[in-house]
Amino acid sequence: MNATLGTLFVALGLSASVVGVVVVAYGLATRNPALVVRSRVAVGFLAVAAVGQVAAMERALITRDFTVAFVAEHGSHRTPALFNVATLWSALEGSILLWVLVLVGYVVLVARRFRDHLDDPMVGWTLLVLFAVCTFFFLLLAGPAHPFGRFNPWPGYDGPGPNPLLQNHVLMAFHPPVLYLGYVGFTVPFALAVAALATGRLGEGWLLEARRWTLVAWGCLTAGILLGAWWSYEVLGWGGYWAWDPVENASFLPWLTGTAYLHSVMVQERRGMLRVWNLSLLCATFSLTILGTFITRSGVLDSVHAFTESAIGPLLLGFFAAVVATTVGLIAWRGDQLRTAGSIDSPVSRTGAFLANNLLFGAFAFVVLLGTVFPLLVEAAQGNRISVGNPYFERMTMPIGFALLFLMAVAPALPWSRTSAELLSVRLRWPAVAGAGAMLAGVLLGSRGWAPTLAVGLAGFAVGGAVRQLLLAVGARGPRGLMGRSSGGMVVHIGVAVVAVAFACSSAFVRQAEFRFTDPGDRASFADHELVFDGVATVQLSEKTEVRVAVLVDGHRYLPAISVFPFGGQTIGTPATRSTLRDDLQLAVLAVPDEESSATVVRVTVQPLVLWLWVGGAVMAVGTVLAAIPMDRRRDEVDVSSVDEVAS
């Protein structure tokens, strides 16, 4: 029943997306806007199909319908309810279902947003691109990633459940959906960019919508990345949260190019410059989401984040190549119309600072992309497996990060045109004092080494500049001064500075040691903490067996554990973490008594300021919401029919 329903919904979605492509393309080719308007019906069927196929799979998971092959391979009676629902996105086929659900959700929002302008060619081309992307992903569901294959379970059959690592923390239920909201959300600004290129309407009018959709996707991707880092920190027990894993980088790359676009688009809006660059950034951001999907789902690498090898890898790579070729061709085709007469009045201006900002973000993205794909290229060319480790990423990205922090402080204080040294000194005086004070405070609190100390100083400089801008805005408009793109961006800058300090200090000053305990009452001292071993206990849960190790730290009892999943074939650690504003202490069990040894081995990790990573992320989320609030509602009204035309 569930397999049949799911297959029918996949067929319905594929049919609706193909019909949408044909109807909209024919309407645009024949200049018949009525046909484009009728594509609303296809959008409705797409919504029914996307919701229906996910509902059918969730019903199969909840009822443990092992006649569905996906449920037989990844479901289990022992899986707790929350993780049973989250099993949908724990494996490749289900993750494509979630991807399609989010994608169709954005299509519905676009159709509703432009419901009064569906006869406009700009909207028609936008819908055409979205229907084409939907067609590709529904083809995956109908072919190599079909999730509703059949299985004939024998009496008493029970599946293995999802990957044990993916059912060991509640964040698994939230991290992937939030990440997908950002990842998939970049499809909409990409579609708007292609529509602008296809129609030749390359003025600044379309940027308002593209910026708005980009901001939403960027905010969700930011939250998803930070939730993923938090999950890694809480679950893997290695004493870290970011390892420059290729799959982590796959989500970070579109974040970098999306961030660059959100800055450079302001130059185009104010000065009419960077049209080619901004269109390229939007197209590159979407292309990187497809490349990241290929890296994650092709089986070309081994990672805790990656899915198993499948046949969709070549299809994703082909789709990526098609997207890149199409967008490069469109930009080259419109090259003459994209030229502008604008120029930079002075390098020491906000325009110059934003250009430098974009160059740095571009360099950052190139460094990360090179370190991510180089091992894959070597393996494809020579058959040898190599890896690019943390030292490469840290050495190459550190100077870029410092430069970005500096520009983050200076750029808001600069006027768009020329400035004077006197004006600049007035505007940067208090931010500079804040930076010097932060650096001094860091040294007094124990910061050692030039890199973390410089990071603290530059972050203080950036926070001082952002706070100055916010105070000016509140002084001019009252509490409403905190809302809007400019002030919201300043709040985001504060969050970024907090994250930068936490990242630099927690990485530079981490302390880690391993201790062997034999008998209850054994003691150890580490990093000004007193540890007392209090024994081992075994706890049987429905889905796993936990061997819990009781350790008293400064009189407080913690229970790190090793979890054994009998049907998952894995034994994984479940660390215990104590977080304070000053530092985090994490306990991870490395070994418990067995036939060969009577010792219990516990790894202790002490890191400063880790909690501030999540605080900074929350501040960034608040800033994103504030930036999304329009200050001038009349200006923010949708009117695609008034998009500026550029004469050829």
Q: Is the CB of residue 519 less than 8 Å from the CB of residue 536?
A: no
pTM (whole model) above 0.85: yes
Backbone angles phi, psi at 219, to 5 degrees: -60, -45
Query: Average pLDDT of 222-248?
Result: 88
Q: Which long-range contacts (CB under 8 A, 24 or more apart) does 114-118 make?
A: 114/638, 114/640, 115/40, 116/638, 117/638, 117/639, 117/640, 117/641, 118/33, 118/36, 118/37, 118/39, 118/40
Confidence of residue 187 (pLDDT cuts 50, 70, 90): very high
144 is a domain residue: yes
Q: Is the CB of residue 169 less than 8 Å from the CB of residue 234?
A: yes
The total of other beta-carbon atoms located within 10 Å of residue 324's CB is 16
DSSP three-state, residue 526: strand
533 is a domain residue: yes
Rounded CA-CA distance 408/148 in Å is 49
Better-scored residue on pLDDT, 519 or 565: 519
What would the two tokens of residue 561 be?
């554990």
Instruction: Provide CB contacts within 8 A for 409, sequence distance 6+.
Output: 428, 431, 435, 458, 461, 462, 464, 465, 466
485 is a domain residue: no
201 is a domain residue: no
503 is a domain residue: no
Confidence of residue 302 (pLDDT cuts 50, 70, 90): low
353 is a domain residue: no
272 is a domain residue: no
Please give the radius of gyration of the chain, using alpha carbons only, rounded to the nearest integer. Answer: 26
pLDDT at residue 345, rounded to an integer: 67
Rounded CA-CA distance 553/530 in Å is 6
Q: What is the pLDDT of residues 252-279, one digit of tens each?
A: 999 999 999 999 888 888 877 788 888 9
Pick the last residue of a domain from 162, 180, 196.
162
Range of the domain at 523: 511-608
Q: How confident is the prediction for the chain on average, in pLDDT?
A: 87
Number of domains within the chain: 2
Rounded CA-CA distance 209/641 in Å is 13
Backbone angles phi, psi at 578, to 5 degrees: -115, 120
Question: Is the model's pLDDT at 380 over the cut of 80?
Answer: no
Pick the last residue of a domain from 129, 162, 195.
162
Pick the last residue of a domain from 121, 142, 162.
162
548 is a domain residue: yes
Q: What is the pLDDT of residues 1-18, one digit of tens each?
A: 889 999 999 999 999 999
